[in-house]
Structures are given as structure tokens and as C-alpha cells.
């Protein structure tokens, strides 16, 4: 039960942080994307990798919803792709 509570706390903190930092500034983001971003962050953490910038989780969430590959040169997106449905553009950094 404590593990579930700590996961929920991590999700809630990530979600609050995203809302406080970016609000509705991220073009194309809808409310569900913020929830999904927190879930993506939690999934990576559960699998032993920490996404350093929460905005990357929000970008990944929008990209997943739109079924759009992400062109990147950022290790956070590589980690997100390893543990989620995020598709990466073929020319992205390895």
C-alpha cells in the first residue's frame, strides 16, 4: 500500500509542477495531456530512469496523443521512448 501511495504522491507532485510551471502555455496541450505526462514520468521512474525535465513528459504526452514522432537530441526523450509508446523520428540523436 505504501508503494501505491508514494507513486500517487510522485504523480501528483509532477502534475502540480507541470501546471505551475507551464499552465496552458504549451501549444496543443489539453488537460488530459498533463495527467498523461505525470503518468509517463512515473513509468520511467518505476523503470529506473528519471526524466530530468518535466516539460519533456508533456511534449511526449502530446506527441503520443497525436501519434507524432519526436525529433530530438535529448536523453529524456530516449528514456521516454524506451518505457512508453513515444515514437522517435529516425534522425533523432541516439
Q: What is the pLDDT of residues 22-81, one digit of tens each?
A: 665 555 668 888 899 999 999 999 999 999 998 999 999 999 998 999 999 889 999 999
Please give the Cα distance from 29 to 44 (Å, whole number).
21
Element spanning 56, H or E: helix 54-66
Which residue matches cell numbers 488537460? 31
Cell of 15: 502534475
**Cβ within 8 Å of residue 69, ≥6 positions away:** 63, 87, 88, 89, 90
CA-wise closest residue to 20 among 50, 72, 58, 66: 58
CATH of domain 2-83: 3.40.50.1010
Amino acid at each position: 500500500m505504501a508503494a501505491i501511495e508514494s507513486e500517487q504522491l510522485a504523480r501528483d507532485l509532477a502534475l502540480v509542477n507541470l501546471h505551475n510551471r507551464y499552465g496552458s502555455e504549451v501549444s496543443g496541450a489539453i488537460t488530459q495531456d498533463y495527467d498523461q505526462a505525470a503518468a509517463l514520468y512515473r513509468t520511467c521512474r518505476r523503470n529506473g530512469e528519471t526524466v530530468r525535465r518535466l516539460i519533456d513528459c508533456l511534449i511526449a504526452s502530446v506527441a503520443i496523443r497525436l501519434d507524432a514522432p519526436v525529433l530530438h537530441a535529448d536523453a529524456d526523450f530516449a528514456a521516454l521512448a524506451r518505457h512508453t509508446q513515444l515514437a522517435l523520428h529516425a534522425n533523432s540523436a541516439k
